Amino acid sequence: MERDDIIEYSLDAHHSEEQGKKIRRKIWLVTAILTAITAIEVAIGAKVHQDSEYWWIVKLLFIGLTLLKAGYIVVVFMHLGDERKVLKYCILIPYFIFVVYLIFIALTEANAVHQAWETYGG
């Protein structure tokens, strides 16, 4: 018995083959960009050790690249890139401020814990 509630989406697409090629090209481009950013993160993480004097720069770079990837994913996959600039900024700026706040809290608390450890426990 054949089910009538299952839709074959590839047969239901209402675009030409040329448009389909553009869509697939865009998907591959997004995949390549995200893969390249991740490869950069992995390469930097493999080269610079945690006891290096430049580790704090690497951590900030990781945070920046992660935010870049997250923003790119939101723009592409949530179709925010197709919206007007005002709407993009109304959505992205509060999240950016919140992420910066979370980073500030994490770094402040980590510093306080480190100082307490040196004073009382270390």
34-73, pLDDT tens digit by residue?
Answer: 999 999 999 999 999 888 898 889 988 998 898 889 888 8
- The pLDDT value given to residue 46: 92
Residue the block writes with tokens 């610079």: 48
Whether the per-residue pLDDT at 121 is higher than 80: the answer is: no
Is residue 88 within a helix (H) or strand (E), and if so which, with residue range?
helix 85-116
Whether the per-residue pLDDT at 9 is higher than 70: the answer is: no
- The pLDDT value given to residue 101: 93
Whether the per-residue pLDDT at 7 is higher than 90: the answer is: no
Q: Which residue has the higher pLDDT, 64 or 5?
A: 64
Average pLDDT value for residue range 76-105: 87
Of all residues in the chain, the percent with pLDDT exceeding 70 is: 89
- The pTM (predicted TM-score) of the whole model is 0.66
DSSP for 69-89, please give it: HHHHHHHHHT-GGGS-HHHHH
Is residue 21 within a helix (H) or strand (E), and if so which, with residue range?
helix 17-47
